[in-house]
Structure 1
Amino acid sequence: MTSWIDVINYVRTRYEVLEETDSWLRFRLDLDQDRTQQVSVHHVPESDGVAWVEISSPVGRADAIDLKRFLELAGTSPVGGAAVVDDVALLKHTVPLEDLSVREEFERPLMLLVAAADAFEHELTAADSF
């Protein structure tokens, strides 16, 4: 059975961790063309008997992007849903922690989510702020 500590250790050994608490961590991935993308991973306490891991990646400030276009772009992504949290537009994806295959059920959606968030950020802001 996979634990939250397993997820944290997986991230720590592979990525540059920027911030961390007991229930979340924020880290940066290096991408192509000298771009980077920040990601947050949250441990979501048990709901209906199952703990979850939420992966999120910012796209831009909600008041500075075309939110309708953001929703259209998010609809093309195989993982993640569009959200606005603390005035930041982001893509997020949630997976159950129990029986999580870190490589298949965490890393694969993480990479897809990060690629989509970075592409959306580039299209919507023409910047690399996150």
Structure 2
Amino acid sequence: MAEWRDLVTFIRQSYRVVRDEPDEIRIRLVFGSDDPDTENRAQIVVIAHEIFDRKEDWVQIATPFARADEVDLLSVLTEIGETIVVGGAVVMGEHLVLRHSLPLINLDINEFIDPLELVAGSAELLEQQFTGRDDY
């Protein structure tokens, strides 16, 4: 899989798409619980086509997990530094976002799926830990 359109086709077939635009697709991942008394949590993930240096195709996986003004940034960044393997935290607008980028050239599907699931799952845990809510 080396082109954006191929990745988008895979995403449409494999995930619940909530928004679909030419260079961005958003999906909703649901995280189940083994406890029947606990509601499922969900995470919206933005997958965007990016052009690096005006010549290389990349895909960016990003998901918000908190408003920057509602959490202790040092605590969040410390937690990410100690526990997160894939992705990094950035401020985008008012939100803290966990994101990861991958080059599209020669991208195998498992090289997309694993980071997607790790970024979304990590953001979900960060959201639960630092906000106690399920806003994203």
Same fold (TM over 0.5): yes
Q: Whole-Å Cα distance in 2 between the matches of residues 48 and 20 of structure 1?
A: 23
* 2:84 partner amino acid: S
Hey, what does 1:13 align to over in structure 2? 13
RMSD (Å), alpha carbons: 1.3
Provide structure 1 residue ranges, at least 5 long, that are not aligned to the other structure: none
Matches within 5 A, 1:40-59: 40-47=46-53, 49-59=55-65
Structure 1: distance between partners of 2:98 and 2:21: 21
Amino acid paired to 1:7: L
Name the counterpart of 1:91: 98
Give me the whole-angstrom Cα distance separating, in 1, the residues matched to 2:85 and 2:123: 12
- Per-residue deviation, residues 50-91 of structure 1 (Å, max 9, x unmatched): 211000111111111221111112212110010010111010
For the residues of structure 1 that align with 2:126 and 2:87, how far apart are their CA atoms?
A: 13
Q: Name stretches of at least 5 consecutive residues in structure 2 with no aligned partner.
A: 34-39
Q: How many residues align?
A: 129
Distance 2:2 2:80 in 1: 29
Out of 64, 70, 79, which is 1:73 matched to?
79
SS in 1 for 2:102: strand
Report deviation, 1:23: 0.7
After the TM superposition, list the runs of 4 or more consecutive aligned residues in structure 1 that deviate by more than 6 angstroms.
none
Task: Provide TM-score, normalisation by structure 2.
Answer: 0.89
* Percent of aligned pairs sharing the same letter: 34
Structure 2 equivalent of residue 105 of structure 1: 111
Shift of 1:48: 6.5
Instruction: Give the TM-score taking structure 1 as reference length.
Output: 0.93
Instruction: Within 5 Å, give how 1:20-35 maps onto structure 2.
Output: 20-33=20-33, 34-35=40-41
Whole-angstrom CA distance in 1 between matches of 2:52 and 2:96: 25
Paired residues of 1:74 and 1:80 also in contact (CA < 8 A): no
